[in-house]
Amino acid sequence: MSDKDITIVTLKVDSKEIKFEIPSYICELISIEENNFIPLQSHYSESLEKILRTFIPDSIRPATKKQVDFMRSIAETLNITISEKQLKNSTAARKFISQYIDEFNNKKDEEKIAEINNSKHHKERLKRQMSYYTSIAKTYVLSFGIKELSDAGIGAEEISEITGLNPSAIKRSLEKLNNLLNRKKDDEQSYILRIAYYMHKNDEYADIDNITDDLLEQLIVMTIKNKDDKKDWFYKL
């Protein structure tokens, strides 16, 4: 790149000026745009901050927001205190994080294992999750019924008489269901569809608006078991 292709630009920070070289075509392109203000939360502001930080000596370079947030998380988890210097100085913050990172990760792992091993919590979490999945799955139960009728060669007009839906609603329901069935077999939406399919195929779940806690618990066990065993209805679709 020749000298004529390079432009020296000046970044003024308070009373200081920082000069650096950039390709001239960048200056030409920027010059056609209106003046812009870059707020603190902007990605560009973060990039500029990183550039400016390189001009600050290590001894006085302030800690970044990410460093401060991470130190506070470590301190809360390990029940330790952070000094003012560590909060304000990047080098001190880096040393603090380096000193406690392994202990912090181990503590987090222990908490996660303890949470999983807490059967009551685990069951309640599963129940909340399955309640959420089931509430969504209910919307697809009718769609599976429509699909079975359609696959059996029954026309839209007759399906309309059986379901009470107009032909256009039936078409939309089939298109949406078929699109979802073509998704990855292990994503969350596919899991919800399998719950809907199981509810559709089993009489005890026919009254989908009045599924009892006992039936919901059975559904939890059945769906988890079949998912883990990779067999039966879960992988049939």
For the chain, what are the domain ranges? 3-53, 65-116, 119-235
pTM over 0.75: no
Query: Given this model, what pLDDT does residue 230 score?
Result: 43
Among 37-46, 48-57, 135-144, 217-226, whose mean pLDDT is lowest? 217-226
Read off the pLDDT of residues 81-137 as tens digits, 9 standing for 90 and up. Answer: 999 999 889 999 999 999 999 999 999 988 877 776 666 666 676 667 667 766 777
Which DSSP string corresponds to 108-137? Answer: HHHHHHHHHH-HHHHHHHHHHHHHHHHHHH
- The answer to whether 197 and 142 have CB atoms below 8 angstroms apart is no
